[in-house]
Amino acid sequence: MAKKNKILIVDDEAFFRELLKDLLSEKFDIVEAEDGIEVVSLVERECPDIIILDIEMPGKNGIDVCVELKSNYVTRAIPVIMVTSRSEKEELIAGLNAGADDYVTKPINQTELLARIDAHLRRSMEYYSRLEKKDLLLLIELSELISASRNPLNILDTIVDKMSDVVDVARCSIVSADGKGGLLVKASSDDLPQRDLKIDMEKYPEIEEALRTKDTVVVDSIKDDPLMRSVQKYTAALAFDSIVVAPIVRRESIIGTLFLRTATKLGNGANERVVKLCTLVANISANALENALLFESMKTTQFYLEELALRDGLTNLYNHNYFYARLDEEFARARRYNNALSCIFIDIDNFKTVNDRYGHLNGDVVLCEVANLVHEVARESDLAARYGGEEFVILLPNTQSEGAMKMAKRLHSSIRASSFKAIRGEGVTVSVGVATFENDNMNSIDQLVQLADSAMYRGKKAGKDQVVFHEAKSPDPDDSADH
């Protein structure tokens, strides 16, 4: 029997370790640790082939552990997959800067995790063979340079310049598909007259094929390869013979549809060394590019921290405090300009039963999945928030009662039709209340929320799993009871 690869799982949650062991133990030997202390010595002793490392742990967090692993000559080559929640973007960036090779988010997508593990194991076993010493030095230098940069354009320039120094290329470029059938040259070893030079996709079938397959495309002979037949009139006079196109992939998607395209003068086609080197450079570029793009999208770290403070830590929807801050603004605006303002209040039916039967961790997963459905239904102009517990709320500016009811019914149906893996494919239902401020029919923001909440509660009393609209009148005393 072939020897199994060994995986080290480092996570302080016993439930999560058991979940991963159930998923991985048939195919891999599993070693586990419940905290980050002494992980380096454990790795040196056990020699795992891959490490799955949680970011948030008591004692020593995953970022500090990753720094130690990647600073240690014995352990630095072992792939590290960080585990993070959707809300831990700042920690994720720090983890990638610490040297993590990849990451997955909780709740774990099992198919994706297995694919990531297989990809890293294949890369460890296969890709580094037949590379020359200067190639390995290039990979190390590129990793350091692109991780230190916060400017995505500088990263792209660095990649093409260094590749041109090491590989005998006629041209090395990074090209982006613009989504409209065109291509933009983002960086090139040639001196470009302008950045984002537009070229025609129809003249580059090798890039079109890489976009379709999300895999490296190798053309050994631009004159004889069937893929290039449609562009022979353009390639006949070119001073190179082979092309390698490697997509720069982060997780399951191509980052901005970026491709590393290397055209070489090698007469016998692109050899294995060139193909592997192009693929490796594309791979190590991916996380650094995503890192840089994240930093670029956040104008300042302070802006990001302020945004983080407005989010619910579990569901990543806006939190209760931010909802009321925005409600105050929107209510004042609606009253001033005589606009309608609607509120949808959502409560998961029998959620205590979900927690009692499947545990609070699975209950949290259900909350996140319902939150995703709420987010998907809400429009860009709406505000979706977690009100508290199993309650959610959507604020709809410039929306009359009819439009609010349509959205509420669409959300109700969407949740009702969904199955939730965390509770063995079972479904949940919600009770939904809707209220609308229009024609100055309310005195305060509290009344709008109270009426939507009261409508939801009336639906609960009437049998649950329904949408109820509350006319703007004084709520019945019984409607404000604790639920």
Strands across the sheet containing 391-397 = 383-388, 391-397, 341-348, 430-437, 467-469
Q: Cα separation of 470 and 401, whole Å?
A: 10
- Alpha-carbon distance of 352 to 357, in angstroms, equals 9
Cα–Cα distances (Å) from 27 to 14, 19, 107, 279, 436, in that order, read 20, 14, 21, 27, 56
**Which residue is it, tokens 């230098």?**
141
* Six-digit token string for 371: 């939150």
| AA identity, residue 289 | L
Rounded Cα distance between 91 and 71, Å, is: 19
Task: From 285, 288, 273, select the one nearest 127 (Cα to Cα).
Answer: 273
C-alpha–C-alpha distance, residues 93 and 288, integer Å = 9
- Active-site residue, 272 included: no
Exactly one of 296, 390, 402, 438 is catalytic; name it. 390
β-strand pairing of 80-85 with 102-106: parallel
AA letter at 217: V
Sheet of 253-264, strands arranged across: 197-200, 182-188, 169-177, 253-264, 242-250, 217-219
Q: Six-digit token pair at 163?
A: 């590749």
**Nearest of 330, 322, 310 to residue 381 by alpha carbon:** 330
Spatial strand order in the sheet of 102-106: 29-33, 6-10, 50-54, 80-85, 102-106
Cα distance from N-terminal residue to C-terminal residue, the chain: 59
Closest by CA to 37, choosing from 71, 13, 61, 70, is: 61
Half-sphere exposure of 232 (CA within 13 A, CB side): 8
Contact 423, 335 (CB under 8 A): no
What does the block give as tokens for 45? 């002793």
Positions annotated as catalytic residues are 390
